[in-house]
Amino acid sequence: MAEVKKVATRDGYGMALVELGKINQDFLVLDADLGAATRTGMFKKEFPDRFYNCGIAEQNMISLAAGIASTGKKVFASTFAMFAAGRAFEQIRNSVGYPRLNVKIGATHAGVSVGEDGATHQCCEDIALMRTIPGMIVINPADVVEAKACVIKAFEVDGPVYMRFGRLAVPVIFDEDYEFQIGKGIELRPGTDVTIIATGLMVAEALQAHEILAAEGVSARIINMATIKPIDKEIIIKAAKETGLIITAEEHSIIGGLGSAVCEVTSEKYPVKVIRIGIKDTYGISGPAVDLLKYYNLTAEEIAKTALQAVKCK
């Protein structure tokens, strides 16, 4: 098997900021002393005068970003997902969300794939938190190409956007000409027995699961759901009707994330069995990222095993 190219989605964030910076002077980038890690450092290197380091003060950074946006200028604010969605939740809710300001939050190091830093830094609750804020757009790209594309779209759209990026290098799935649309899921593989709806780094795992299942004679539809909010109801209902069984896969708590969002749609519009794969109401632990994904069963094998059992029970 040929070597798969792997890049972290946070790199896509940094690259897209630089691209935007070249064509638009009318926005600022903020960080909270994590520029090297969040990759806003790439923007800082190119456009040092348009980058402001707020220091280790995330709450101030978010409300400050709101103040900048209130003057009609767009602004990106970056830190780890834990300290954006977690620590500064209420600032995002009240300073950014409530006045619907043009603050684009670039939250990196989401999920257990942060790795060795352990539980305090492994945010598996951010999608759930951000999803509850009225009007907030929540995007969790699958690879570097989608990450870049979502940053550009987030910049263009009016209002607050929460973008979730990872630290770990993950397989590149999309071609450079890929066209990302906010609020649209994408069917990556056709299938009739079961639908696997995945987001973030679990999309690459879902694609592998498709192959494993095919070898077992199971036809699995694979959907990439990069936008968690607003969720693409149409593609979920269609999958429910046509395959009668859905498995969700996310590197996030199964409480409140993609799995919950899918269940909300199916239970109201077309009830089918939905099995949620994700972090099961627990904290992370320290370890190498790839090993942690195995430890928490966030793998193609686990998706395939779950799907196979569920299809047999249909």
Partner 1 sequence: MVKLMDIKTKKRLMQTACKVRMGIIEGTYNAKSGHPGGSLSIADILTYLYFEKINIDPNNPQMPNRDRFVLSKGHAAPALYSVLAHRGFFSVEELKRLRHIGSMLQGHPDMKNTPGVDMSTGSLGQGISAAVGMALASKHFKSGFKVYCAVGDGELEEGQVWEAFMFAAHKKLDNLIVFVDLNNLQIDGTLDDVNSPLPVDKKLEAFNWHVITIDGHDFDQIEQAVEEALAVTGKPTAIIANTIKGKGVSFMENAVDWHGVAPNYDQYKAAMAELEEYLKSLED
Q: Which is nearer to partner 1, 100 or 238 (CB)?
A: 100
Q: What is the DSSP letter of 135?
A: T
Which residues, including other chains, have CB under 8 Å from residue 125's CB and lie 6 or more apart?
Answer: 85, 86, 252, 253, 256
Question: Which range of residues in 67-75, 183-191, 196-204, 235-243 is near partner 1 by CB under 8 A?
Answer: 67-75
Cα–Cα distance, 104 to 96 (Å, whole number): 9
The verdict on 72 binding partner 1 (CB under 8 A) reads yes
Pick the stretch among 60-68, 189-197, 249-257, 292-300 that binds partner 1 (CB under 8 A). 60-68
Chain centre to alpha carbon of residue 74 = 21
Residue 34 CA to its chain's centroid (Å): 19
Write each residue from 191 to 230 as x if it is in contact with partner 1 (CB under 8 A), else as -, in one continuous string: ----------------------------------------
Q: Which is nearer to partner 1, 40 or 306 (CB)?
A: 40
**Beta strands per DSSP E along the chain:** 6-7, 27-31, 51-53, 74-80, 103-108, 137-139, 161-164, 170-171, 186-189, 194-198, 220-224, 227-229, 245-253, 273-279
CB of 20 to partner 1, least distance (A): 17
Q: Which stretch binds partner 1 (CB under 8 A): 16-24, 48-56, 171-179, 190-198?
A: 48-56
By the 8 A CB rule, do 206 and 258 touch? Answer: no
Should residue 40 be labelled a site residue for partner 1 when binding is judged by CB under 8 A? no
Question: 33, 86, 100, 255: which one contacts partner 1 (CB under 8 A)?
Answer: 100
* Minimum gap (Å) between residue 126 Cβ and partner 1: 20
Q: Which residue has the tokens 């098997």?
A: 1
DSSP 80: E
User: Taking CB under 8 A as the rule, does residue 55 contact partner 1?
Assistant: yes
CA 197/CA 210 separation, integer angstroms: 11
Residue 135 binds partner 1, judged by CB under 8 A:
no
Binding-site member from 20, 28, 110, 149 for partner 1 (CB under 8 A): 28
Contacts with partner 1 by CB under 8 A: the residue count is 28
Q: Binding to partner 1 by residue 65, rule CB under 8 A?
A: yes
Contact between 105 and partner 1 (CB under 8 A)?
no
> 164: helix, coil or strand?
strand
54 binds partner 1 (CB under 8 A): yes
DSSP 8-state code for residue 216: T
Dist. CA 268–CA 271, nearest whole Å: 7
Rounded to 5, what percent of the chain is helix, strand, coil?
45, 20, 35
- What are φ and ψ of residue 228, in 5° steps? -85, -30
**90 or 268: whose CB is closer to partner 1?**
90
Annotated catalytic sites, by residue?
A: 58
Q: Which stretch binds partner 1 (CB under 8 A): 49-57, 180-188, 265-273, 283-291?
A: 49-57
Is 273 one of the binding residues for partner 1 (CB under 8 A)?
no
- Binding range to partner 1, per CB under 8 A, among 38-46, 90-98, 191-199, 214-222: 90-98
Contacts with partner 1 by CB under 8 A lie at 26, 28, 50, 52, 54-55, 57, 59-60, 62-73, 90-91, 94-95, 98-100
